[in-house]
Structure 1
Amino acid sequence: MSDSEYHMVEFRPADGGPMQLVRGRKKTEAEMQADAEAAAEQEESPALLVRIVGDCITPSVKAILLCDQHGNRLPGQVRASLDQTVDRTEITVTFLIDGAEVSFA
């Protein structure tokens, strides 16, 4: 970048201190867009979904499944339990960890 691209710009410190003049430059639209896309990629973590599904053997029986962000069943689930009160709902899912299909990062 050439010196002609830099100007004195107002800057307010994050700690709420007084406004200061510093030598800098404003970001272009393309730079701001790239920064926003990079931040969105970093902030997005895969969502886990809870699905209530019918049992294939006994259709009137319902089961709770923990699924990935696309609705696919997570492998290795052997049990799910539901504990519900007026203030909260808690679902506990038990996995059979075989080291091949289920991993935690």
Structure 2
Amino acid sequence: MAKTDPYRVTDPRLTTDLDTADPYRLSGPAAPASGSGSGTSSGTAGAAPDRGAGRGEVARSALWVLVVLSAVANTAASYTGAATWVHLVCGAVTALGGGVLVVRKLRGRR
């Protein structure tokens, strides 16, 4: 007896490559959709695959690392009883990094 999925909406005998056409499938990229019947291509068939994170994503990640490290350094300085200037530098770096993250987020909404 063939294995069937009781939650499948469509009849698997009527469709082909149903699993590979699923855009939410985690095991691999979905096949690009064909044109809408007008004879024109969608323009994505010849596009190069994404090669990694862009400059903006790297900068955002670096800012988050900076903010977290400066906050941890400020906490460690509090527990060790460090000088006041250490707290001020760590707090300033945390505030500036957080401010830059907020500005980048707000500018990205436009």
Q: TM-score, normalised by structure 1?
A: 0.26
Write 1 or 2 for the structure with the bigger share of strand: 1
Name the structure, 1 or 2, with higher relative contact order (CA <8 Å, separation 6+).
2
Report which of the two has the higher share of helix: 2
Q: TM-score, normalised by structure 2?
A: 0.25
